[in-house]
A and B are shown apart, each in its own frame.
Chain A
């Protein structure tokens, strides 16, 4: 099912309205395909009812470089595309880190790294406690996982069996010390189910997000993309 109003091929043009650049390198768009697949084919939402309590929640923890996010939100119908031209300006809703109070469809304000997964744990606990089956999906970066706060959240989410929580880690090899043994292992040891996928392969991403739930466990999708410095 396609829920976006614009095709994927339009995203580059939408991003250009923010940056002025005709060409975006991979590091600026490391999250683009993950975001596209989530909003186009996975998440349950209605841009006309952004406060619907039963909507799926998408939390962008890695708030840096949000152009791809804004482009996808525009394509999904949350944002007036004219807003993209104001990116970073005094009167703009669109900062270089997203603010949930300003931007329709944005679930959390982010920018300081290491906050999204904890907020996602609270969101998933709240949805479970109120009997809603909405999903909570949170996007992290591989370098962002350095933050110790995420270790607390990974540990607790596994013990609490938050099966409606999905963490997608976009791995563009930007963590200076790397992740010996892989990122997925950090989640697996805490009781998460994990999948490693090509972060540019829409079909593989779709399968990773929608395959049969693994039971009473949160799910981690590690989406590998080109290294940041390549």
Chain B
């Protein structure tokens, strides 16, 4: 598991990545930065809009020929989203990137109005996950992102569990016109899985269903080792694949394992299983501010998202 962190403005990123164990899975954010200039060069519709974060990581030689479609606005996050809206109004396909709180929380009204109300699309790509830079603390934590987007309409939300998944989702997203959020996390599963927007079945059992989202997949499988449960994997949470959940449902008890705010998708399960008497347990990042730094693994433990914590919760809920 990668434990690479990304400092403010990514200043220490290069050093951190050089130090990383090369045998681990690739980093989705590195992959994203590497792809951006090529995506812009390959499609005259594509534009990249940055608010400083990431600008230093793009290959300047590759950016030079497409510089009029690679825009760094400085640290101006309201303008970041408004500019994307304006670009989309002229027919371009903006890819917009910064850390999740600065992409969705600070300019939330711009996301609502300058994209949604204008009825235009964009590809919003965050980095940092929920606590990808644990020492960065609350100001840089992004666990509220998917729940916030749930208050808006028309958003597709991808939570890739591997850099290969992220790349495929990004390539698909730029070819479309709608509103897409791609949530990059420094955490990764060992291998990529299917990214067709549907849930895939990783294993079957009779005592309930555990839905693992994105980078939660490997640890969820480890956590339910020997337990009689079904495990579904999804890396696209909006729209939520209610059909597969219903179709594969045995005992109507569902555990969600999400890498962001706990219970973000509980209402989706409720809608999916409407009319069926069922129980749901949401696992994810807790709502309280912990005021702790440390490591990603320590935060996982604090929120019950480590292997032991997930196993404990699943066992208590399903008695498998």
Contact A115 B119 (CB under 8 A): no
Chain B 109-123 interface 0/1 with A at a Cβ cutoff of 8 Å (1 = within): 110011001110000
Say if the beta carbon of A23 comes within 8 Å of chain B. Answer: no
Chain B 59-99 interface 0/1 with A at a Cβ cutoff of 8 Å (1 = within): 00000000011010110101101111111111110100000
User: What's the least CB distance linking A138 to chain B, in Å?
Assistant: 10
Say if the beta carbon of A72 comes within 8 Å of chain B. Answer: no
Say if the beta carbon of B47 comes within 8 Å of chain A. Answer: yes
Contact A156 B74 (CB under 8 A): yes
Contact B86 A119 (CB under 8 A): yes
User: What's the least CB distance linking B214 to chain A, in Å?
Assistant: 30
A100-B119, A109-B117, A129-B92 given as contacts; is B87 within 8 A of A122 (CB)?
Answer: yes
A107-B89, A123-B86, A124-B86 given as contacts; is B47 within 8 A of A149 (CB)?
Answer: no
A109-B113, A149-B79 given as contacts; is B68 within 8 A of A122 (CB)?
Answer: no
- Please, which residues of chain A bring their CB within 8 A of the CB of B89? 57, 107-108, 119, 122-123, 126
Say if the beta carbon of A125 comes within 8 Å of chain B. Answer: yes
Contact A121 B82 (CB under 8 A): yes
Say if the beta carbon of A92 comes within 8 Å of chain B. Answer: no
Which of the residues A101, A107, A115 comes within 8 Å of B114, measured between beta carbons? A115
Q: Could you tell me how many residues of chain A have their Cβ less than 8 Å away from some Cβ of chain B?
A: 32
Contact B110 A115 (CB under 8 A): yes
Name A's interface SS: helix
A108-B118, A156-B73 given as contacts; is B78 within 8 A of A130 (CB)?
Answer: no
- Please, which residues of chain B bring their CB within 8 A of the CB of A155? 74, 76
Closest 8 CB pairs of A and B: A122-B86, A118-B82, A126-B90, A122-B83, A152-B76, A123-B86, A152-B79, A149-B78
24 pairs, CB–CB < 8 Å, chain A vs chain B: A53-B90, A99-B117, A108-B118, A115-B110, A115-B113, A118-B79, A118-B83, A118-B110, A118-B114, A119-B83, A119-B85, A121-B79, A121-B82, A121-B86, A122-B86, A122-B87, A124-B86, A125-B47, A126-B87, A126-B89, A126-B91, A129-B68, A129-B92, A130-B91
